[in-house]
Structure 1
Amino acid sequence: MGKRLIVQARGKGGPRYKIPSHRFLGRVRYFSHSNFTGKVVNIANDPGHYSPVMFVKDENGGKVMHIAPEGIQVGDFVHYGQYSGVGSVVELSMIPVGTRVFGIETWPGSGPKLCRSSGSYSTVMSVTDNKVTIQFSTGREKTVDGKCRAMVGIPAGGGRLEKPWVKAGKRSHAMMARGKLYPRTVGVAMNPVDHPYGGRKKHAKFKTISRHAPPGRKIGSIAARRTGKRK
């Protein structure tokens, strides 16, 4: 009898595939109200985020967690509702064209959804009829409501990928902290009992699999209409 595929084991949800969310510091969000000034009371590293996070306290004592922009420090002020440089949380329609922003809402009140990873940002390109066009660092453009809020600046930790891992153990620990599966073993390197592609003496199998195949045989392209590159 064959063994379960990795996708089957992950679907069952054993301890090896569970995300250690009990170690995460919390959820990144914005205050629901505006037109006030908050204060940065702490900056920390969160295993659940690639960027450093900061805790901002408002005038009433409420505290939320934000993605920390480059150049911010403990004791600085975060202005809500008015543009005043890096760290301000304002509506996109109030931000000057050419400004770099991150933590962009997809609809008013949704909370930060776009450009949250370290070093990622978008640039405000144009403001027309309460619609704002932003351009991502990849060059793709997106139009959102002008009342959507964003934070001015760039998320801290932009050079995170420049340093090499050097040792496999370092990367293994980093992947384990996020609940990622590492290392990944290809099917052709497994035994026949572990994967349909396993066993080097066997002939090549078809990559396309029927949608009605049993779970242990669903590997490769499942119910694909076509294969290969488009001409």
Structure 2
Amino acid sequence: MFQPRIALRGIRLPFRCLPSVPSVPARRFASVINELETPPANSSTSSIDPTASFAPPPTRDSAGVVLRTYTPRTPGVRHLRRPVNDHLWKGRPVHRLTFPKKGHAKGGRNNTGRVTVRHMGGGHKRRIRTVDFLRMDAGPHLVERVEYDPGRTAHIALLRSKETSKLSYILAADGMRAGETVQSYMAGIPEDLWKSMGGTVDPGVLAARTAWRGNCLPLHMIPVGTPMFNVGLRAGKGGQLCRSAGTYATVVAKGSGSRQTAIEPDQSNPEEPETEKKPLSQRERQKQERLAQHITVRLSSGETRLLHKDCCATIGVASNPNYHYTQLGKAGRSRWLNIRPTVRGLAMNAMDHPHGGGRGKSKGNVDPKSPWGIPTKSGYKTRPKWKINKAVVVPRPRNQGKRRRGYN
């Protein structure tokens, strides 16, 4: 019969004559691997000054992708891989900042009971965290801890206001740790920053004092080329873009603040004759006004958008950037995440899918279709509507046929 394992770490025996058993190193069933290079033995800790009014900029290290693998004691952990996030809070969230997820998990069904979203159902019991995406509260905020959020891929950070001691959750930036201080400038520039700039806006000083990791700024205060996440779509509304793990956007260009109504002649050289120039048209004036009020932003997908200059954004990259390297390891772990199995149409019956039926692996010589008969793939969704299922008649050019002997 097998003897049960006993943890001998720091056990004190009841006998006074015997010394305590020395601590035995714990048996580890998980290991950390680096897919690019092996991390150094003595890793330097992050030098963060908690007394600073803002957090330091993000560090660029060449550590690569660090994942945790497990000893295959069961088939479910043989292929299990997870990113290393040892800095996360191990306890429960703040209860008053959450509410139960009731009525949401309906298995992808609508009010009539029909499945409108496939591959959804089940999942673990959850509480939804209320995250502040707008961050209108001014003043410095202390990062109490960084937590795991089951409702999103990125992590969240618990903030405590140094002025009001109010608690709130925000999206955590990559590299954010407990003890840092972040600030929001959505309500305006604070008085001490105005005095340090001499009462006028100095772009260099303003960027050096505000564009730090975790700070929330309007788009017109963010320097060009700065990575940011949690970007808003409308002024006065919270962030809606780049909120998943590892995503970020970049400020590409800013419009000039001056609006030109008409082009006046140059008065610097009076010797040259004055030439009347054509005033701007209404469309050109509208274009200049739109560029003056909007910022050009490039998203992670490569899409370029014009966003209003008063939209909010957080400096940095969304936390947990190695999330897409995760391997669940078993089907049950997908069911815990509210994901049901995905069955191929080829493996179904003829009544369940257009690709189903037949003997063996055959879809009946039909074009790729969805379960509802809509053509898929081959650029069907990306072609214009006038090109879909339209017969294009190409006229045959003249004098291109085969010449006969004896005819010119």
Aligned to 1:101: 228
Q: Please list, as runs of the form range in 1=range in 2, the aligned pairs for 1:194-209 lying within 5 A after superposition.
A: 194-201=352-359, 203-204=364-365
Query: Which of residues 363, 374, 396 is equivalent to 1:220?
Result: 374
| Per-residue deviation, residues 188-220 of structure 1 (Å, max 9, x unmatched) | 2123454453222484457679xxxxxxx8343
What is the alpha-carbon distance in structure 1 between the residues aligned to residue 329 and residue 122 of structure 2?
Answer: 23
Structure 2: 5+ residue stretches without partners = 1-106, 190-209, 256-291, 391-408
Count of residue pairs brought into register by the alignment: 206
Q: Secondary structure at the match of 2:220?
A: helix
Structure 1: 5+ residue stretches without partners = 1-8, 210-216
Cα distance change of structure 1 residues 143 and 19 upon mapping to structure 2, 3 Å threshold: farther
What is the alpha-carbon distance in structure 1 between the residues aligned to residue 251 and residue 142 of structure 2?
Answer: 26
What is the alpha-carbon distance in structure 1 between the residues aligned to residue 220 and residue 304 of structure 2?
Answer: 16
What is the alpha-carbon distance in structure 2 between the residues aligned to residue 139 and residue 40 of structure 1?
Answer: 32
Aligned to 1:87: 214
Q: Structure 2 length as normaliser, TM-score?
A: 0.45
Q: Structure 1 length as normaliser, TM-score?
A: 0.75
Q: Secondary structure at the match of 1:126?
A: strand
Aligned to 2:300: 137
State the 1:69 CA deviation.
0.6
Query: Which of residues 146, 156, 181 is equivalent to 2:319?
Result: 156
Aligned to 2:139: 36
What is the alpha-carbon distance in structure 2 between the residues aligned to residue 38 and residue 13 of structure 1?
Answer: 46
1:123 matches 2:250? yes
Aligned to 2:168: 64
What is the alpha-carbon distance in structure 2 between the residues aligned to residue 76 and residue 205 of structure 1?
Answer: 59
| Per-residue deviation, residues 13-35 of structure 1 (Å, max 9, x unmatched) | 68x83475851441432355343
State the 1:36 CA deviation.
1.2
Structure 1 counterpart of 2:374, one-letter code: G
| Per-residue deviation, residues 152-196 of structure 1 (Å, max 9, x unmatched) | 000111122235x27343xx51x33442333x1112212345445
What is the alpha-carbon distance in structure 2 between the residues aligned to residue 42 and residue 64 of structure 1?
Answer: 11
| Per-residue deviation, residues 97-145 of structure 1 (Å, max 9, x unmatched) | 1111000011122211000111110111122123111112332211111
Structure 2 counterpart of 1:142, one-letter code: R
What is the alpha-carbon distance in structure 1 between the residues aligned to residue 330 and residue 154 of structure 2?
Answer: 22
Structure number with the bigger relative contact order (C-alpha 8 A, sep ≥ 6) is: 1
What is the alpha-carbon distance in structure 2 between the residues aligned to residue 180 and residue 26 of structure 1?
Answer: 20
Percent identical among aligned pairs is: 22
Cα distance change of structure 1 residues 127 and 158 upon mapping to structure 2, 3 Å threshold: same
Q: Which moved more, 1:65-74 or 1:17-26?
A: 17-26
Aligned Cα root-mean-square deviation (Å)? 3.1
